[in-house]
Structure 1
Amino acid sequence: MYFRNSISKIVTTGTFALWALAVSAQNAELYAPTAVPDRIVLNVTVDPSTSMAVNWRTSEAVTESFAEIAVAEADPRFVFKAKRFKAKTEKLVWENTPVAHYHSVVLENLQPGTKYAYRVGGEQGWSEWIHFSTAGAKDEKLSFIYYGDVQVNISSLWSRVVREAYAKAPDARLAIYAGDLINKANRDVEWGDWFHGGGFIHSMVPAFPTPGNHDHFDTPEGVNTTSVFWRPQFTLPENGPKGLEETCYYADVQGVRFVSLNSDQVDVSEKWTQVQKAWLERILMDNPNKWTVITFHHPIFSPKTTRDNKRMRETFKPLFDRYKVDLVLQGHDHTYARGMANIPMKENGAQSGTMYVVSVSGPKMTDSNVGPAAWMDRSAIYTQLFHVVNVEGERLSFQTYTATGELYDAFDLIKQKGKINRIAERVPPNIPERH
């Protein structure tokens, strides 16, 4: 009865958040680390066709841990061919959180387009053998998944979204998280919910996370920074600006340059705004890939009339226009909207070649000050969503699915030589906008 009554109050963000915290508190004891590896997650590298990063956690009793990897075969004797790599191990001590050891390995010298099997652990306990596939060549079809904010009630209600997404795109080469993976940056139980909600999928589909405001906190000295858990539990490319490592970075995957910006630092710091602007221009100017996808948390164009991320828009949109960025994936506003045809442009008569998308995958919703705005081509409220994107040749196909697996929205971006992208609308018939 408590569950039913709480769900009926989902429309009240405060009530729902309190319920989500109560559920997380019940899970706290379940998430204590042991000698057996848990929280196993793959992460993108600069080039996931030849390398892959993996992280996991154990109790502090485990002082040495390893990853073993081999080309996957149907013959179970493949395990005798596995190569062993010693993990980097670091201890995390934080307030009332159980002390844990976090382990990480970057698996290198892999073959492109190859299915591997790996496991992590050691004498005190091993994980199961897990499969993943390296990325392929630039001209091969690429699939990836995009999630908006996860944030609350993760193990209970976000879990269904990530499972539907994996069912739709089991061959996804990465999963983009557009910030606010959890609600309170340094609550271990919420990270436990995130790993529990995604389950084995985290260990098979490499993560490409960008941090949101809820993934940040203020230190006692007043410095805004990412969660104490962020860098121990994710191993991401360190090719971004010094001081923003593993939050501002890029990876090249099958002809697509994927970029993460740390928009929360833009929100609080002019210094980090200009640092990221200069860095982004360098990597967009020197970009050998056909397609460019950028993700960050705070939208350039907000679905909410009460929010306006002016610094983000004035700083980065001119670069998106100049360097013909194809797709911008964002979160923060707990609703869905996407637009390209009516994006405001500086030059009279100019049209945007960039598609801007805002989305939400978790159950925290908003309907306040949200309505169809001039920049939106399609939108929705009170809808948990995930997105499957396929890139092949001159075409990028974007599908928006609901938490129950129905196609809600779709479009194609088509490259045109010397021109901006052409959009082909593929909105499913007889599916009204959810207002």
Structure 2
Amino acid sequence: MKKISCFLLCCCLSLGGFAAQVVRGPYIEDPTQTTTVIRFQTDETTPAWLEYGPAPRCNQIMKISPEGTDHKAILYGLVPNQQFCYRLYVYNAARDGVQAPVEGSWRTLYSPERKEIKFMAFGNTAGDNPGPKALLAAQMAQQEADFLIHTGDLTASGLNADANAEFFTPYKEVLAQTPLFVALGAHEYGPDRTERGSKSFVRANYSRFHDMTWSNATPKYYYFDTANARFIFLDANAVYGAVWAPDLDEKSTQYKWLQTALATATEKWKIVVVNAPLYSTGEKGPAHEAAARLEPLFERYGVKLVLQGAEADYERTFPMLKDEPNPRGVTYVTLGGGGAPLTKRSGSHRSTARFVSNYHYLTGSIVDRKLSIKVFNEQGKQLDKFEIYL
């Protein structure tokens, strides 16, 4: 520890005379069994230093982030099924050391023989609504989860300039200790998503700041495996007129990729995350075009759970098979209560098992062939509870 501290101090003494502040993050993305990515932003150009190691020994390995404001540190030398912790340092104004570290932790993905997973999920954090977000974040920070799923629509504008106020700052504590996976929502394509000139919007405002598991269209669609589950993230925003979103017809690259991802998952749990809701009685209603293309695949390959977004409400269907309630079918859950202005129910449908217009988040636990789900509001009150069996 003395050697690391001396190294930090020497680096700090040789650099500038102002104190940079971490203004975004740190947030954790793209964990694997042996690596992970930690990202953060500073308000001034500065180098930074990361110590990390297996908890509680957070100072086993040193990583230097070069001078800049947008920082991305890829951490290597990890092992599966392990809790790790880190400390992030930037130098101080007096040039005689570093500021107090920003600390966090995360867990690497599980190897296939493990049969237990814990995760959280929520979505639609768009808009300036700090009160409910603060309450939700406080509740979520108390949960133990291996990773966090966001069903899309991080901000109302889709602009990176709004991401701190609407997402990264209110959920800072959760993001510092829980790896994040996002399904792109329509808002990520910006207000001009129907225009051909919008091609660079996602790249400028989203892709530059997020790392997802590689696929031929990352970050638009991708999957990751952990323990006995495969989590598949899709981009169905073409149905909302996003001209640069990937197609979903049977000849499209995304459709063929999805088919392969499902077919090769064998006996694993198959959980899909997609922003456009295939079932919904909210104000926007279901994305019928996406449903017509995706439901047959989900049913054919044994998908058990689909997490959806877009609607600012919570809704769960009965297990659905060929558009009818059936115990052998797929359960669709809309998670859109992450802080956006809530919407009300606009109709009814035979699929609906539960509908609540409330801010909320979900906790999921897989133990072998059993998936247990609980949904809580911003006050910690349980809104829903159900189980699915493989």
* Fold match (TM-score > 0.5): yes
Q: CA deviation at 1:222?
A: 2.1
CA shift, 1:281, in A, is 0.8
SS of alignment partner, residue 118 of structure 1: strand
- Report the alpha carbon displacement of residue 267 of structure 1 after superposing the two structures with TM: 3.4
Is residue 150 of structure 2 the alignment partner of residue 177 of structure 1?
yes
Q: CA deviation at 1:172?
A: 0.2
Aligned with residue 360 of structure 2, among 385, 389, 399: 385
Residues 363 and 351 from structure 1, CA distance in 2 versus in 1: closer, same or farther, beyond 3 angstroms?
Answer: same
Q: Is the CA contact (8 Å cut-off) linking 2:29 and 2:210 kept in structure 1?
A: no
Say yes or no: does 1:141 pair with 2:116. Answer: yes
Instruction: Kindly indicate whether residue 260 of structure 2 is the aligned counterpart of residue 282 of structure 1.
Output: yes
- Distance change in 2, residues 1:305/1:389 (3 Å): same
- Secondary structure at 1:222 match in 2: helix
Q: Which residue of 2 aligns with 1:231?
A: 207
Please name the residue that 1:152 is paired with: 127
1:72 aligns with 2:51: no
Stretches of structure 1 lacking an aligned partner (at least 5 in a row): 1-32, 92-100, 416-435
Rounded to whole Å, the distance in 2 between the matches of 1:300 and 1:34 is: 49
How many residues in Structure 1 have an aligned counterpart in Structure 2? 357
Cα drift, residue 271 of structure 1? 5.5
Alignment of 1:219-368 (within 5 A): 222-224=197-199, 225-226=201-202, 228-239=204-215, 241=216, 244-268=217-241, 269=243, 272-273=247-248, 274-288=252-266, 290-304=268-282, 307-341=285-319, 343=320, 345=322, 352-359=328-335, 360-367=337-344
* 8 Å contact from structure 2 (residues 40, 72) kept in 1: yes
**Helix, strand or coil: the match of 1:283?**
helix
Match for residue 119 of structure 1 among 75, 81, 87: 87
Q: Which residue of 1 aligns with 2:32?
A: 48
For the Cα contact (< 8 Å) 1:37–1:121, is it kept in 2? Answer: no
Select which of 108, 125, 142 maps to 2:76. 108
Q: Report the secondary structure of 1:377's partner residue.
A: strand
- Between the aligned partners of 2:267 and 2:28, the Cα distance in structure 1 is 21
Contact map agreement 1:385 1:403 (CA 8 A) in 2: yes
> What amino acid is aligned across from residue 322 of structure 2 in structure 1?
M
Residue of structure 2 equivalent to 1:131: 105
Contact map agreement 1:157 1:363 (CA 8 A) in 2: no
Question: Per-residue displacement from partner, 1:42-72 (whole Å, max 9, x unpaired)?
Answer: 4343x6332221100123522x444321223
Output the CA distance in 1 between the equivalents of 2:298 and 2:82: 34
Structure 2 contact 316–331 (Cα < 8 Å) conserved: yes
**Which residue of 2 is the match for residue 196 of structure 1?**
169
1:361-416: CA deviation from partner (whole Å, max 9, x where unpaired): 2251112x5243211111112x111111100011000111121111121111012x
Cα RMSD (Å) of the superposition?
2.8
Give the SS at the match of 2:45: coil
Q: 1:299 to 1:248 in 2, by over 3 A?
A: same
Q: 1:378 to 1:237 in 2, by over 3 A?
A: same
Report the identity percentage.
Answer: 19
- What is the one-letter code of the residue matched to 1:105? A
In structure 2, the residue matched to 1:38 is: 23
Question: Which letter does structure 2 place at the counterpart of 1:119?
Answer: R
CA 1:154–1:87: 2 relative to 1, 3 Å: farther
**The residue matched to 1:160 in structure 2 has which SS?**
helix
Q: Which deviations, in whole Å up to 9, do the C-alpha atoms of 1:251-310 show, x marking residues without a partner?
A: 112221111111224533585322211111111111155211111111011223763412
Q: Cα gap change, 1:391/1:351 in structure 2, threshold over 3 Å: closer, same or farther? A: closer
Distance 1:41 1:266 in 2: 33
d(CA) in 2 for partners of 1:209 and 1:336? 18
Residue 412 of structure 1 pairs with residue 372 of structure 2: no
TM-score relative to the length of structure 2: 0.82
Give the letter for the 2:350 counterpart: A
Change beyond 3 A, Cα 1:237–1:135:
closer
1:399 to 367, 374, 383: 374
Residues in 2 aligned to 1:226 and 1:161: alpha-carbon distance in whole angstroms: 27
Q: Which has the higher strand share?
A: 2
Q: How does 1:5-20 map to 2 (within 5 A)?
A: none
SS at the partner of 2:166? Answer: helix
Matching residue of 1:421:
none
Show structure 2 runs of 5+ residues with no match: 1-17, 93-97
Is the 1:135–1:253 Cα contact (8 Å) retained in structure 2? yes
